[in-house]
Amino acid sequence: MKIAEYIDSTNVKPNAKKEDIIKLCRDAVKYKFRGVCISPTWVKLAKQILRKENIKVITVIGFPFGYSLTKEEETRKAVNDGVDEIDMVMNISAFKSKKYKFVEEDIKRVVKVAEGRNVKVIIECCYLNKEEKIKACKIAKRAGAKFVKTSTGYGKWGARLSDVRLMRKAFGEGVKAAGGIRTYEQALKFLKAGASVIGTSTAVKIVRKID
């Protein structure tokens, strides 16, 4: 298995500098990662660097808490800057308040503005019980999302194998496992559990099998 093909190499740190993003992109070319996941600030730069490469430029929307009401505008700007995929955070606060229609419409608007680009919905599993995780997956599916994603990496915990298995069953193919995946062995376990994509900030260490 060429594990690099499943990895979105990620740097969404608040203190990420331009040179960090340049290195992230160059490493993606070197190791042939699936994509790079970065903040909206750096989409245009990443697209310039990777314009001739078969590597997706991915950005986060409504990050990291999901309760912003400007996801549509954020997405439109990212599309104009050349983004390939969108990782949006579900409005967890509205979801926990049982405002399910509101949550679904929020996702639908992003899907519409994304104009056919893959939209991944981050449901932030650490805040949801089993039934809520299933419901969140079904809402994301109805809204037109192509993936659901375990976490932002900024919640109480990140990806768990049990969550990936549950999400794969509830959503189908199209689960991104992210948050705390730092080794080759961990990444393999998540792929075997049903993940289609791995999001990690230690992508180079994973492909080089460095603990």
Q: Which residues have a catalytic role annotated?
A: 87, 149, 176
Find the radius of gyration of the CA atoms of the chain: 16
Q: Rounded to the nearest 5°, which phi and psi values hold at 10?
A: -120, 135
Q: Rounded to the nearest 5°, which phi and psi values hold at 151?
A: -165, 165
Task: Give the Cα separation of 30 and 24 in Å (integer).
Answer: 10
Burial label, 99 (beta-carbon count in 10 A; 0-12, 13-18, 19+): middle
Task: Give the Cα separation of 41 and 125 in Å (integer).
Answer: 26
Q: Is the Cβ–Cβ distance between 162 and 170 less than 8 Å? A: no
Bridge partners, residue 175, by sequence: 148
